[in-house]
Structure 1
Amino acid sequence: MELTYLRTFCEVVSCGSYTRAAEKLGYAQSSVTAQISKLEELYGAVLLERSGRGMIPTFAGNSLLPYARQMLELSGEAKGVVSSGNSGILNIGSIETLAAYYLPHRLHRYREQHPRVQLRVQPGSEVQIIADVKEKAADFGLIFDVPYESEELVSLPLRQEQLFVVVHPEHPLAAEPAIAPSALSAEPLVLTEETCTYRRQLLQELRHSGITPRIDMEFGNLEGIKQAVKHRWGTAFLPWYAAQEELDSGALIGIPLAGEQEKFYIQLIYRKERGLSAAFGDFIAAMQQQ
């Protein structure tokens, strides 16, 4: 309310008249008089006085005037920033593989559009990311799983990704067109952490086939897993995007798991009730770029 009074005060000073200020602001003259009275009461000083030239600021009014104009200017600037969504902090929860292999070049393009938006990427498990988005600790979440459904969240599929059994080029299974779960019965497995969704899918496939998995190594990051396979320490199970460079170059070999498995998608999640500013809409578009 004080900003309204300050705007009226500045207008009266500019117009030199309660009447002309009221006309310009679309108020009744009595409303302008009342607002000035409330402002004078708030600051404990007479701010305007009558002269031959109309209403002019007193010594106290002249002291207040530059501050009033500055506050109105800052208020307008703040409204523009908030309504446009072109600055501020964007919090993104992401599983580690997507933070490392999917996000970087898309975030680079997004920053070119919105250089004033500060990006915070917090890697975590899928369970934690979903909880953070629901609890408003994150604006967006990136997960990799079968299609996720929620009454509270929008889940936007960005891309389907195939999963591969990943081996050294000289591994006995490297020439196979597909690998049956039974072929992995004696294989030393090099896997991601227990919370990983595609690790869970592999272990389910093996157990459904009556195979007890032999997990020799676990890594919290993908580079460790790929290095282990390159050193022939074991066999991995990874999405294409996480090993694209090595698979394309032939440094590693990716072979699909035989049979029908549930399809996995890179998915962007956010709250259904949130209003999407232009900056947020552009972030979604950036994540959808292939």
Structure 2
Amino acid sequence: MQFKQLEAFAKVTELRSFSRAAEELYLTQPTVSAHVKALEEEIGCQLVSRSTRSLSLTEEGNTLYPYVRRILDLKNTALQKLRQEQRQILRIGASTIPSGYILPRLLKEYRKLHPDIYFNVVQGNSGTIEEMIGDNTLDIGFVGMDSTEKNILSYPFCEDSLLYVAPATEYYRRLFDRSPSLQELLQEPLILREANSGTLHALDSYLLEQHVDMSKLNIIGNVNDLEAIKQMILNQTGVSILSGFSVSDLLARGQLLAYPLHTPHPRRFYIIQKKDKSLSPTEESFLGFSRSFYTL
């Protein structure tokens, strides 16, 4: 008894047609008929009742079909499981900006070289991803701030800019046209990212360099969803300080306005891994590719 015989019998049973079964299996009709006939001969009874007008199963055929279906389903499940185990798996963590604006292009180019790779990407803020790297839940992380943990290795790999982002209204066009001071900008109603986000960490560092006390800002809320913040700006709820990557499309379409914050150092994104963890050849390959993908 061969799988091809069982597959032919099951498909003929399900479609009630030799010709349609042949199309589904990419075989000729005589080949499908021969497979069913061989199965009948091996079992020693007729399974399919053939006539010029219709096709039906014999009593023996009806008895056999559920067992054949289970055998074929079990075979397909086993093959799928084996294929998954043979695939090279990357467990990647990424904070908001890398997951939405950096990883998609990076993974696309990496898979051109390694088409069999399977990746599992977890999104969280930079602090969460660092914790998951530390407890071995993830292998490689892409985050928006450098790590200070002794058990984490951190590599800068990509640069971005911080932008003061506002609704595309006449008020903000006039404000930006007269080159306002930082203190004036920060009195506008600000919606900021949540604690432990790389963007908020970068803003903290910038304000410290500018000798600006965070408590003096007109902060009206903290939101842990970047898309929600952008929608709030579009709806004129307030302004924010965001990654240039995250608003480039809306700026290009003229839906938002941006004023550059002149930082002495560009904002950087980092690749992190656990210090004492031995990476697999696949992980080493992806890490090397990622570090060289962008030029600092």
User: Is the contact between residue 203 and residue 213 of structure 1 (CA under 8 Å) also seen in structure 2?
Assistant: no
Change (3 A) 1:178 1:284: farther
Tell me, in whole angstroms, the C-alpha distance in 2 between the residues paired with 1:193 and 1:235: 15
Question: How far off its partner does 1:237 sit?
Answer: 0.7
Structure-2 residue corresponding to 1:118: 118
Which residue among 268, 271, 289 is the counterpart of 2:271?
268
Structure 2: 5+ residue stretches without partners = 1-81
Superposed, which structure 2 residues align to 1:10-29 within 5 Å? none
Question: How far off its partner does 1:159 sit?
Answer: 1.2
Give CA-to-partner distance per residue, 1:170-217, whole Å, 9 cap, x none: 253443486533113431112222222322443572894356222224
Secondary structure, counterpart of 1:232 in structure 2: coil
Structure-2 residue corresponding to 1:199: 200
What percentage of residue pairs aligned between the two structures are identical?
A: 23
Structure-1 residue corresponding to 2:181: 180
Tell me, in whole angstroms, the C-alpha distance in 2 between the residues paired with 1:188 and 1:257: 17
Structure 1: 5+ residue stretches without partners = 1-77
Structure-1 residue corresponding to 2:251: 247
Q: What number of residue pairs does the alignment pair up? A: 206
RMSD of aligned alpha carbons:
3.1
User: Is the contact between residue 189 and residue 239 of structure 2 (CA under 8 Å) also seen in structure 1?
Assistant: yes
Give CA-to-partner distance per residue, 1:92-115, whole Å, 9 cap, x none: 111122211111122223234334
Tell me, in whole angstroms, the C-alpha distance in 1 between the residues paired with 2:218 and 2:204: 10
User: Is the contact between residue 94 and residue 122 of structure 2 (CA under 8 Å) also seen in structure 1?
Assistant: yes
The reply on whether 1:154 has 2:153 as its aligned counterpart is: yes
Which residue among 209, 212, 223 is the counterpart of 2:212?
209
Give the AA of the match of 1:283. F
Give CA-to-partner distance per residue, 1:51-83, whole Å, 9 cap, x none: xxxxxxxxxxxxxxxxxxxxxxxxxxx9xx99x
Give the AA of the match of 1:190. I
Secondary structure, counterpart of 1:102 in structure 2: helix
Secondary structure, counterpart of 1:243 in structure 2: helix
Structure-2 residue corresponding to 1:135: 135
User: Is the contact between residue 111 and residue 117 of structure 2 (CA under 8 Å) also seen in structure 1?
Assistant: yes
Secondary structure, counterpart of 1:209 in structure 2: coil
Structure-2 residue corresponding to 1:169: 168
Give the AA of the match of 1:255. Y
Structure-1 residue corresponding to 2:231: 227
Give the AA of the match of 2:243. P
Tell me the TM-score normalized by structure 2. Answer: 0.59
The reply on whether 1:281 has 2:284 as its aligned counterpart is: yes
Give CA-to-partner distance per residue, 1:260-289, whole Å, 9 cap, x none: 455421111112344444422332244342
Give the AA of the match of 1:249. R
Give CA-to-partner distance per residue, 1:242-266, whole Å, 9 cap, x none: 11212233322221225x4554211
Change (3 A) 1:112 1:168: same
Tell me, in whole angstroms, the C-alpha distance in 2 between the residues paired with 1:284 and 1:257: 31
The reply on whether 1:101 has 2:101 as its aligned counterpart is: yes
Give the AA of the match of 2:188. E
User: Is the contact between residue 87 and residue 114 of structure 1 (CA under 8 Å) also seen in structure 2?
Assistant: no
Tell me the TM-score normalized by structure 1. Answer: 0.61
Give CA-to-partner distance per residue, 1:22-62, whole Å, 9 cap, x none: xxxxxxxxxxxxxxxxxxxxxxxxxxxxxxxxxxxxxxxxx
Structure-2 residue corresponding to 1:9: none
User: Is the contact between residue 90 and residue 139 of structure 1 (CA under 8 Å) also seen in structure 2?
Assistant: yes
User: Is the contact between residue 199 and residue 242 of structure 2 (CA under 8 Å) also seen in structure 1?
Assistant: yes
Structure-2 residue corresponding to 1:189: 190
Give the AA of the match of 1:142. F
Higher share in helix: 2
